Structure 1
């Protein structure tokens, strides 16, 4: 059974399962599990294809499974919009799905482009009522989740006005968008929110490094560790 091609059947000969000698097929493939295979021969009359597992590299497997999951996600969006219109998924494909695949190659690509430029759907020939409904559904589905990067911070100051210095330093940290929560002296929990984990971690680390330098100037010491 081919997930991307309903109605088409495929077969993998034992010699195409693995580069190793296959003593027991169950060591290499499991029932009801999805696999990425390469088409090696097509019989158009019988609507049948011969497939190979061993000719697919690990990188190709990852790329294909990722693309397949994205397309499944996009199809769910199309199906939901179809239901809202009282239509089936097949009807949705007839009215807009096949058109989107023709114009963009894949549904997911079409929806990504529509998210950046909503007007592109109508420009490509999608009926306005479908375009508006799809854009609304895409925005809900593709909404990026907020990521939180946390760290634990320890601050000490031996200066006569050490507490005041620590408060001032933490206030400057909060001005950079970092939330500060007091745990118990001398420990604090800090966190920053956003949508790009790498950029968030970089920003938090840079600010904490700066903070440690500032506390040292205030006759103190500081350290931190990111919480993974």
Structure 2
């Protein structure tokens, strides 16, 4: 098990992620997942603020827990921990930090295997210096995707190690694009109804940017699909919501109406396949109708 950070032991008041090894009369024995699996203990009195009726309901063997460090005795190897002194917000913060640490460890381990070197050596030469400079190695690795020289130049790494490191980081940390979609019905029975609908749809598309382009497709009148693809999930959702709002405001000004059939949401390949199937079905129905009309005209 790796040591994510340079210090061999955590500091007092630091949040750490542990895994429960056993539950005894005194409390729970745990291993610190970010510190090479060294052992610590959560005293029974530090498990909960409430009266303990059943220890098993509070903590279980094999489960990961967020705890705070109360005391560290490096000479004797004692680490006393508390679960009851950790707030809900701190749990979220520690879990996020731990996930970042796992991502970094995965990258370091993979590069170590490719170079046939010890992962601890790469931690010492790469991860720990970057952690000290950027607050977390994960943040440095993310920045290196766009600014590799700024991040890695001070480390003076061998060219082959640097090449493998950049390759693994790009594969693991480059954001994957997400697709966001909304379905709306747009109607306008005024004299210039068709033009009003076109204007409204253009207003929706105009909200898009180069990073978050908005596309609108007709499924079958009056149903339209609005979609965008972006690596920035939050920006995609926000832009999509603005696009829907712009269409609604525009068509309302012209005396028309918009009904949201599906609010903006991240969609999967399955959703896309279902939409494609739906559009193909409508297209086939339209072709069939057109074919019937032609037949009638031929008979006449």
TM-score bracket, shorter-length normalisation: 0.7 to 0.9
Structure 1 unaligned spans of 5+: none
Residue among 134, 150, 165 paired with 2:165: 134
Equivalent residue for 2:256? 220
Tell me if the contact between 2:204 and 2:246 (Cα under 8 Å) persists in the aligned partners.
Answer: no
Tell me if the contact between 1:192 and 1:204 (Cα under 8 Å) persists in the aligned partners.
Answer: yes
Equivalent residue for 2:281? none
Tell me if the contact between 2:125 and 2:155 (Cα under 8 Å) persists in the aligned partners.
Answer: no
Alignment of 1:94-105 (within 5 A): 94-105=124-135
Equivalent residue for 2:25? none
Shift of residue 212 of structure 1? 3.3
Alignment of 1:36-51 (within 5 A): 36-51=66-81
TM-align CA RMSD: 2.7
TM-score (ref. length: structure 2): 0.65
Shift of residue 59 of structure 1? 1.5
Pick closer, same or farther for the CA change 1:204–1:23 going to 2, 3 Å: closer
Count of aligned residue pairs for this structure pair: 228
Pick closer, same or farther for the CA change 1:81–1:170 going to 2, 3 Å: same
TM-score (ref. length: structure 1): 0.83
Equivalent residue for 1:210? 246
Partner-residue secondary structure (3-state), 2:56: helix
Alignment of 1:55-204 (within 5 A): 55-129=85-159, 130-159=161-190, 162-163=193-194, 166-167=197-198, 169-170=200-201, 173-174=204-205, 176=208, 177-204=213-240
Shift of residue 217 of structure 1? 5.4
Tell me if the contact between 1:79 and 1:89 (Cα under 8 Å) persists in the aligned partners.
Answer: yes
Tell me if the contact between 1:81 and 1:137 (Cα under 8 Å) persists in the aligned partners.
Answer: yes
Residue among 25, 28, 35 paired with 2:55: 25
Q: Deviations over 1:18-57 (max 9, x none)?
A: 1112122101001111111122222222322111111222
Structure 2 unaligned spans of 5+: 1-30, 266-300
Q: Deviations over 1:174-226 (max 9, x none)?
A: 56432223333222222122233443334333333333344345553333352
Distance 1:107 1:183 in 2: 47
Tell me if the contact between 2:111 and 2:165 (Cα under 8 Å) persists in the aligned partners.
Answer: yes
Partner-residue secondary structure (3-state), 2:81: strand
Structure number with greater Rg is 2
Partner-residue secondary structure (3-state), 1:38: strand
Greater relative contact order (CA < 8 Å, ≥ 6 in sequence): 1
Partner-residue secondary structure (3-state), 1:123: helix
Pick closer, same or farther for the CA change 1:123–1:19 going to 2, 3 Å: same
Pick closer, same or farther for the CA change 1:28–1:161 going to 2, 3 Å: same
